[in-house]
Amino acid sequence: MSSPSLRTRERLTEVRYEIRGELARRARELEGQGRQLIKLNIGNPGAFGFRAPEHLQRAIADHIADTDPYTHQQGLPAAREAIAAFHRARGTPKATPERVFVGNGVSELIDLSLRALLNPGDEVLLPSPDYPLWSAATILNDGRPVYYRCRPDQGFLPDPEEIAQLVSSRTRAIVLINPNNPTGAAYPREILERIVAIAAKHHLLLMADEIYDHILYDDAHGFKSVFQPLAPLAGDLPCLSFGGLSKVHRACGWRVGWAVLSGDPLRSGEFHHAMDLLGALRLCANVPGQFAIDAALNGGDTIGALTAPGGRLYETRRALIECCEASEHLTLVAPAGALYGFPAVVGEAARGFDDHAFALEMLETEDVLIVPGSSFNVPERNHFRVALLPEAPVLREVFARVERVLQRRADSAGRQRAAVA
DSSP string, 368-403: EE-EEGGGGS-S-S-BEEEES-S-HHHHHHHHHHHH
Q: How many CB atoms lie within 10 A of CB 2?
A: 4
For residue 138, the SS3 value is helix
- Residue 341 pLDDT level (bands cut at 50, 70, 90): very high
pLDDT of residue 224: 72
Strand residue runs (E) in 34-180: 38-39, 100-103, 123-128, 144-151, 157-158, 171-177
Q: What is the DSSP letter of 177?
A: E
For the chain, first and last CA: distance in Å?
57
* Contacts of 311 by beta carbon, 8 Å cutoff, 6+ apart: 304, 305
Which residues of the chain are in CATH 3.90.1150.10 domains?
11-50+305-420
CA–CA gap between residue 290 and residue 104 (Å, rounded): 10
Lowest mean pLDDT among 221-235, 291-305, 340-354, 389-403: 221-235
Model-level pTM?
Answer: 0.94
- Mean pLDDT in residue range 268-291: 95
Tell me 330's DSSP state: E
The residues pairing with 261 across neighbouring beta strands, listed in sequence order, are: 240
CA 389 to chain centroid: 15
CA distance 246 to 289: 11
Rounded to a whole number, what is the largest CA-CA distance in the chain? Answer: 76
How high is the pLDDT of residue 223?
66
Give CA–CA dist 41/384, Å, rounded.
10
Residue spans of alpha helices (H) in 76-218: 77-89, 105-117, 132-140, 160-166, 189-202
d(C-alpha 349, C-alpha 343), whole Å: 13
Could you tell me which residues come within 8 angstroms of residue 301 by beta carbon, excluding any fewer than 6 positions away? 214
- pLDDT surpassing 60 at residue 221: no
Of 217-221, 260-264, 412-416, minimum mean pLDDT range: 217-221
| Percent of the chain residues topping a pLDDT of 70 | 97
Provide the 3-class DSSP secondary structure of residue 266. Answer: helix
CATH superfamily of 11-50+305-420: Aspartate Aminotransferase, domain 1 (3.90.1150.10)
Which tens digits make up the pLDDT trace of 160-177?
Answer: 999 999 999 999 999 999
Look up the CATH number of domain 54-298.
Answer: 3.40.640.10
List where CATH 3.40.640.10 sits in the chain: 54-298
Return the bridge partners of 38, or none: 368
The answer to whether residues 149 and 159 touch, using CB atoms and an 8 Å cutoff, is yes
**pLDDT for 230 beyond 60:** yes
Q: 70-91: per-residue pLDDT in tens?
A: 999 999 999 999 999 999 999 9
Residues 95/82, Cβ–Cβ less than 8 Å:
no
Cα–Cα dist 15/375, whole Å: 10
